[in-house]
Amino acid sequence: MAHSLPDNSECDDQVLKPRFHLRTLLMLVALLCVTLAISRNVSPMAVAVAILFILAIAAHVAGNVLGSHLRDEATAKNLAESPRRRFRVSVADCAPTTRLSHRTPLGSTVVVLTLMGAMAGGYGGCEWLSQSIPHEDLTIANLSLGASSFVVLGGFFGFWIGSFLRVFLVATFQAQRESGQRQVSRRDVGPVQ
């Protein structure tokens, strides 16, 4: 009694088959060799962290490829099945645009916080370097290089804090203003009957 295998041609089109080229395989082998060579000179914990990092990157890339493929296939399939089934969206269906979508200058708050962060980073870096480096090894060149590095890091941190603070305040003020306008418009309309 011969059993015939079911036709899986429909399933084959939906399943994403992994494709490896020789170049990809050689890159993976080279990456593994470098990781193993480094593992002889590094602690096992550092090797585990490096392997976890590499696996996380590989998982993100694989997920991105799979998600993109599934999205493209679903979009093409939906358009092929029902070309008339397109939704029309009116302006009333959308939320109002926010001021966050417009380009605006940085503003004085961001500039002031960036400068304050740079000054605090420079001062804190000089203090930390003068305490951590023995005085016989502390030279002007070492101190100036370390201080300039801390000035840049402090400036980045100040800019980061200032930018987030500005975006948070703009979004909060806009939400409060629009909330107040909606309450006024509801009072003008009156009760629903």
**pLDDT at position 40 over 80:** yes
Indicate whether 7 pLDDT > 80.
no
Q: What is the pLDDT of residue 86?
A: 59
| DSSP state, residue 93 | G
* pLDDT value of residue 60: 93
The whole-number pLDDT of residue 167 equals 85
- The number of CA neighbours under 13 Å toward the Cβ of 137 is 6
Mean pLDDT of the chain: 78
Please give the Cα distance from 145 to 127 (Å, whole number).
13
Neighbours of 8 (CB within 10 A): 9
Q: What pLDDT score was predicted for residue 181? A: 63
Residue of higher predicted confidence among 37 and 13: 37
Band of residue 80 on the pLDDT scale cut at 50, 70, 90: low
Q: Is the pLDDT of residue 28 over 90?
A: no
Interacting residues of 156 by C-beta distance below 8 A, sequence separation 6+: 117
| Tens digits of residue pLDDT in 134-182 | 888 888 888 888 889 999 999 999 999 999 998 888 888 888 887 766 5
Within 13 Å, how many C-alpha atoms sit on residue 178's CB side?
A: 11
pLDDT of 82 reads 61
Segment 85-107 shows an average pLDDT of: 70
Determine what percent of the chain is predicted with pLDDT higher than 70.
71
Half-sphere exposure of 165 (CA within 13 A, CB side): 15
Domain ranges of the chain: 16-80, 106-188
pLDDT at 183: 56
| Better pLDDT: 44 or 95 | 44
* Across 34-43, 134-143, 178-187, least confident range: 178-187
Please give the angle made by the CA atoms of 52, 55 and 58, to the nearest 5 degrees.
Answer: 155
The average pLDDT across 23-45 equals 86
Would the pLDDT of 11 be above 80? no
